[in-house]
Structure 1
Amino acid sequence: MKVAVVMGGASPEHDVSLASGRGIADAVTELGHTAVPLVLDRSDEWADGLHETIDILRSVDVVLIGLHGEGGEDGRLQGFLEQLKVPYVGSGVTASAVGLDKNLTKAVLSAHGIPVTPGVRLFGAETRDAEGALQKLKAADVDFPVFVKPANGGSSFGVGRATDLASLGAAITAAAELDPQVLVEKEMIGREVDLAVLQFPDGRVEVGPALEIISDPSQPFFNATAKYDAESATQFLIPAPLEPELTEQLKRTALEVFEILGCAGLARIDFFLPADGGPVVNEINTLPGFTPASQFPRMWAANGYSYADIIGVLIDTAVAQR
């Protein structure tokens, strides 16, 4: 098949996306297909030109999206491809848009009885009023320390930790530079565990082995440096050392999240396991990082699937469903 691989984009995850795209394109070639790389530059312009890109997209059999964050993971590219009637890998417009918006995701999951990280959303003038934000946190029964993050984004860009009013104001300002919506959430003391969901061409959906993150102790939290720096001491434990009952609970919840949000193809669901309570959902990634060293392919490797195997499943599923 002729497979377009879209990468780059204007989000802060541009370089991560290029790494994902290169890995995906290599796997497409390894599988015997023809890879057609398509790059969006940092201004969100197609490197080959808009009209030329449309012609290319209309000529391919399927599109693999290696974009992360806004522009690629929020439904905009999916809607563009829907208009062109081109099959693509992953969730559709609605699930993508909801999945990237962390506040909306939490609202939907909470409405279905799924525990999520406690916190508040700030918008507009609220992002310039740290004292007002503090009062909103108190009303929600959320105390310091807290994490502050852009509501739409990933790879921990713009994420900060606040322990007092001054650091809260600084963290909100930094997050608001990347997104007009800002989330301020309670710090969850405990373990971080991720699960990978994969859909197969026959429609069945499976969950891979759980992964536990042991973040680089030299970093304040699992930030972009801990995730991507070649010198990072971050460790991924696969399978996560969990009790069988807890593992099954997390898998059931991951599948439930996938189905509630109407996802397709793939997703990574991230959990916190607080020391003082049951699991809570942190967020979902409908287009998780896909470099060969990323968590999603690592989890499936523990189940015997090579990187190219996963790409093959994603391609076949997209073609079968669309």
Structure 2
Amino acid sequence: MTEQQPKPRIAVVFGGRSSEHVISCVTAGSVLAMIDRSRYDVVPVGITTDGRWVLAEGDPELLRISAGDALPEVDGSGDVVSLHAVAGGAELVVSAAGAPPSVLGSVDVVFPLLHGPWGEDGTVQGLLEMAGVRYVGSGVLASAIGMDKAATKVVLNAAGLRTVPSVVVTAHDWRKDEAGCRERIAALGHPLFVKPARAGSSMGISKVHDDSELAGAIAAAQLHDPKVLIEAFAAGAREIECGVLGSLDGGVEVSLPAEIHVGGDHEFYDFDAKYLPEQSTTIDLPADLPDEVVAEIRRLAADTFRAIGCEGLARVDFFWMPSGELVINEINTMPGFTPTSMYPQMWAATGIDYQQLVERLIQLALARDTGLR
């Protein structure tokens, strides 16, 4: 009798130390509900807000945002889990209170559904590289560049891709030379946007209408990151998003673009407008754009993906200016997979549904080599 081959083991890692902990949990709930358990052995691993790795229950119903309910989080009650490098890969080791450590088994792929610093920024990717384990998504450098909006602009501008004019203000700059910072920022005009340089999900972003609001906006951004990005307002621009997906032959595919319309009391696409139910945000999918503009958006999205050095997946956000010019707003190397997230919606409209998308990403990770590529 032929011995049955074990199913590949997928460790779904979520939560994390960043301010996007909740969104990571929601993303994980959606992905856990869609992984084909007949094909894969799935191990949910949660990272608490203080950085502990624990075995998580992984019930998708406990990882949702619902009106009036508490936000999901990794509570840390599970057994502590660690990733140990072994010959030919890595294995999960579980440490339960009052018991010796036990080996849970080898890991074939890690699906790091982490958003923000200490997860999406190359830190966890570096740990996985050191352990010699395959994982979904971009490598260390691309993850780090994509997380840092200021660094992203430097790389994209060097590649001839246009971004929104901006000024970077560090905590040291603001503390030692506030007047000089204000002078540089004034050249951007008003209104403008103040953002943490290394955060996502619209955390810590403020729209500043005049100088009186600047200090408060910088303080709000610094709650998430001491490095702050101040951007000029893209007046009259339409907000367009586009998904990029790697292919097994080493190329990329690009989704149909979508357009976001933020309504109600929201001045911009903030956290509530993105994630909370019963908001007034509407989406045109596919975006109502001329064919030549759609073609240019898809070309620029692929160019952006390659310029950063991404792997697996990314979402590229654009401003379509009244002049007709396309300006890159940002790139997200681990876009959200929540039920309302744009990335899976755009791929569904392009012909790849949620479950197929998750399967494609796992297969891409299984197929690529570990180490330098």
Give the corresponding residue for 2:346.
299
Cα deviations by residue, 1:127-173 (Å, 9 ceiling, x for unpaired): 346543320123xx310100000000100000001111121111011
Aligned residues of 1:76 and 1:93 also touching (Cα < 8 A): yes
Matched, 1:29 2:36: yes
Q: Is the 8 A contact 2:53 2:81 kept in 1?
A: no
SS at match of 1:109: helix
Task: Say if 2:135 is the partner of 1:88.
Answer: yes
SS of residue in 1 equivalent to 2:256? coil
Count of matched residue positions in the alignment of Structure 1 and Structure 2: 320
Q: Does 1:13 align with 2:59?
A: no
How far residue 300 of structure 1 moved from its aligned partner, in angstroms, is 0.4
Match of 1:214 in 2: 261
Higher alpha-carbon Rg: 2
Matches within 5 A, 1:104-115: 104-115=151-162
8 A contact 1:196–1:268 mirrored in 2:
yes
For structure 1, list consecutive stretches of 5 or more residues without a partner in the other structure: none
TM-score when normalising by structure 1: 0.95
Cα offset, 1:125, TM superposition: 2.7
Does structure 2 retain, via aligned residues, the 8 Å contact 1:31–1:312? no
CA distance in 1, matches of 2:170, 2:346: 36
Matched residue, 1:120 = 167
The answer to whether the 8 A contact 2:15-2:114 is kept is yes
In the superposition, the TM-score normalised over structure 2's length comes to 0.82
What is the letter of the counterpart of residue 126 of structure 1?
D
Cα distance change, pair 51–230 in 1 and its aligned pair in 2 (3 A): closer
Say if 1:10 and 1:71, in contact at 8 Å, map to a contact too.
Answer: yes
Q: Aligned partners of 2:20 and 2:161: how far apart in 1?
A: 29
CA distance 1:321–1:206, change in 2 (3 Å): same
Query: Where does residue 326 of structure 2 map in the other structure?
Result: 279
Greater percentage in helix: 1
Structure with more contact order per residue of length (Cα contacts < 8 Å, sep ≥ 6): 1
Contact 1:28–1:34 under 8 Å retained in 2: no
Unaligned runs of 5+ in 2: 1-7, 56-78, 85-90, 94-104
How far apart are the structure 1 equivalents of 2:234 and 2:178?
21
Is the 2:83–2:131 contact (alpha carbons within 8 Å) kept by the matching residues of 1? no
Distance 1:52 1:107, change over 3 A: closer
Residues in 1 aligned to 2:23 and 2:264: alpha-carbon distance in whole angstroms: 22
The C-alpha deviation readout for 1:73-130, integer Å capped at 9, x for no partner, is: 1000000001111100010000000110000000111111111011100012333465
| SS state at 2:265 partner | coil
Aligned mates of 2:38, 2:307 — CA distance in 1:
33
Name the SS of the counterpart of 2:340 in structure 1. Answer: coil
Per-residue deviation, 1:50: 6.2
1:201 aligns with 248
Give the alignment partner of residue 135 of structure 1, picking from 175, 183, 190.
183
1:22-171 aligned within 5 A: 22-29=29-36, 32-48=39-55, 52-54=82-84, 55-56=91-92, 59-128=106-175, 131-138=179-186, 141-171=187-217
CA distance in 1, matches of 2:49, 2:32: 20
What are the equivalent positions in structure 2 for 1:263-278 lying under 5 Å apart?
A: 263-278=310-325
Alpha-carbon distance change, 310 to 317 in structure 1, aligned in 2, over 3 angstroms: same
Contact 1:238–1:299 at 8 Å: present in 2 too?
yes
Structure 1 stretch displaced more, 201-210 or 52-61: 52-61
Aligned to 2:229: 183
The alignment's C-alpha RMSD in Å is: 1.6
Q: Which amino acid aligns with 2:45?
A: L
The C-alpha deviation readout for 1:239-274, integer Å capped at 9, x for no partner, is 101111111111111111111111000000000112
Return the alpha-carbon distance in structure 2 between the equivalents of residues 31 and 241 of structure 1.
Answer: 40
Partner Cα distance (2:260, 2:38) in 1? 31
1:321 match: 368
Counterpart in the other structure of 1:2: 9
